[in-house]
Structure 1
C-alpha cells in the first residue's frame, strides 16, 4: 500500500512541476511578445509614420508649384487622400500592436479612450467608472488590464447583442480589479471557440501568471460580466 502511495506521489509531482514550468514559460512568452509588439509599434511610428508625413508635405509643396489645372489638382488631391488613409491605417496598426498611452498618459487614459473608441465605433453606450487617482502599477499589470478590456469588448461586439456596457475599475492596497459587464443576451449554452479557447483564455493565462484570476459569469439583470482581479503583491514581483 505504501509503495502504491509513493508511486502516486512520484507521478503527481512531475505533473505539478510541469504545470508550473508551462505557466512560467507562458508568462515569459507574453512578456517577450509585449516587448516585440512595443518595438514594432515604435518602428512603425518612427520610420514609416515619419516617411508618410514627409511625403504628404512634399506633395503639398509639389501641388503649389505645378500648373493649377483641374485634372492635375484632382490627381494630387486623390494622392493626398490615399496618403492620409495610409497614415491612419498605420496609426491604427500601431495602437493594436502597442498602446503608447499606457506608458505616456497612464492606465486610466488608455482604458477610458479604448472604451470611448469602442462606443463610437459600435454605437453603444459605454460607461467608465475609474479611480479618481491615476492607477500606479507595474507595466505587466497595466497591460493585463488593457488586454482584458480589449478582449471583453471584442466579445461584446461579436456575441452579446448589447446596447450598454459598463467598465468598472477598482484599486486598493491589496488588488487591482476590472469588471466589464453588458446588457446583452448572456452566456450561450456552449461558448464559441473564439470566446472560450483563444481570446479570454489567453487573457486568463496572462492574469494567472501575475497571481490573479479571471471569471466569466452571467449578470442577474441579464448580460455577461468579465472580472479580472490581480493581487498587488504578485503584480509587483
Structure 2
C-alpha cells in the first residue's frame, strides 16, 4: 500500500481514530447513565432506610417525653434530642436532593428546574429567574437528567466566576429540539470556549450532550455576561439499549 503524500492523512488511520472516538463517547455516555442510576439508588436508600428510621425515632421520642416526669432538666434534654434528630432528618434530606433530585422522577423536569432555580435565588445574592414552556412535556429520563445537570453546572459557574447580579434559566422546546439556556449578566469573557474545554464539569456535560445526540455551547454575550446552552434532539439518538428505563 502506498504511503500518503506529505500533508495528507491516511484514510485507514482516520477511520480507526473515528471508530475509537465513537467507542469512547459511547462508553462515557454509558458510564454517566450507570452513575445516574447509582446516585438515584443511593438517594432512595437514604430516604427509605435512614429517613424512615429517623422519623420513627422522632415518634418514639415524643411518646417517651409524654411519660417523663415534669422535670425541667429531663424536658430540656429531650428537647435537645428532638432538635438533634430534626437536624439529622434535614441533613439527610439535603443529601438526598444533592445526590438525586426526586422531583425529576415524580413531578418532571419543569418542577425540578423550578425548585433548583428558586433555591439558588434564596441562598445567594443573585436574582434568579426561570422561564418554562406552558406545556409539561414528558422527556426521557436521560434527557431530563442532562437538562438538570446543565442547569446545575451553569448556576455553579455563575456563582463561582461571573460576578453577576442576575441569572435567567430558559427552557424551550419544539418538535425537533429541546434547549436549556443559563444566561447571566456578569463580566463575560472572550475566551469562554477555551475555558469550557478546560473545565471538567463542562467537558463531562458536553460529552453527555453528545451521547444524547446534542451539543453544549458556552458563549460570551455582547455587552457582558455568559450563556451556557444545551441543545438536545426531541428524539434522543443514543442507542436504546443504553438508555435506562424510567
TM-score (norm 2): 0.90
Partner of 1:134: 136
Which residues of structure 2 form unaligned runs of 5+? 241-246
The alpha carbon displacement at 1:190 in A equals 7.5
Q: Is 2:46 aligned against 1:44?
A: yes
2:192·2:220 contact (CA, 8 Å) conserved in 1? no
Q: 1:70 aligns with which of 69, 72, 79?
A: 72
Partner of 1:227: 229
Q: Deviations over 1:80-131 (max 9, x none)?
A: 1111111111111111111111121111111011100100011321111100
1:138·1:235 contact (CA, 8 Å) conserved in 2? no
Partner of 1:185: 187
Partner of 1:176: 178
**Matched residues in 1 for 2:10 and 2:34: separation?**
36
**Matched residues in 1 for 2:164 and 2:211: separation?**
31
Q: How many residues align?
A: 237
Report the more deviating stretch, 168-177 or 226-235. 226-235
2:192·2:218 contact (CA, 8 Å) conserved in 1? no
1:140·1:235 contact (CA, 8 Å) conserved in 2? no
**Matched residues in 2 for 1:224 and 1:74: separation?**
52
1:65-214 to structure 2, matched below 5 A, reads 65-187=67-189, 196-214=198-216
SS of the aligned residue for 1:136 comes to: coil
Task: Rate the CA distance shift 1:72–1:235 in 2: closer, same or farther, 3 A.
Answer: farther
Partner of 1:34: 36
**Matched residues in 1 for 2:57 and 2:135: separation?**
41
**Matched residues in 2 for 1:87 and 1:191: separation?**
42
Q: Deviations over 1:48-102 (max 9, x none)?
A: 0000011111111111111222221111111111111111111111111111111
The alpha carbon displacement at 1:135 in A equals 2.4
Report the more deviating stretch, 17-26 or 95-104. 95-104
**Matched residues in 2 for 1:230 and 1:55: separation?**
45
Q: Deviations over 1:123-154 (max 9, x none)?
A: 32111110001022111001100000011111
**Matched residues in 2 for 1:118 and 1:71: separation?**
41
The alpha carbon displacement at 1:2 in A equals 4.1
Structure with higher helix content: 1
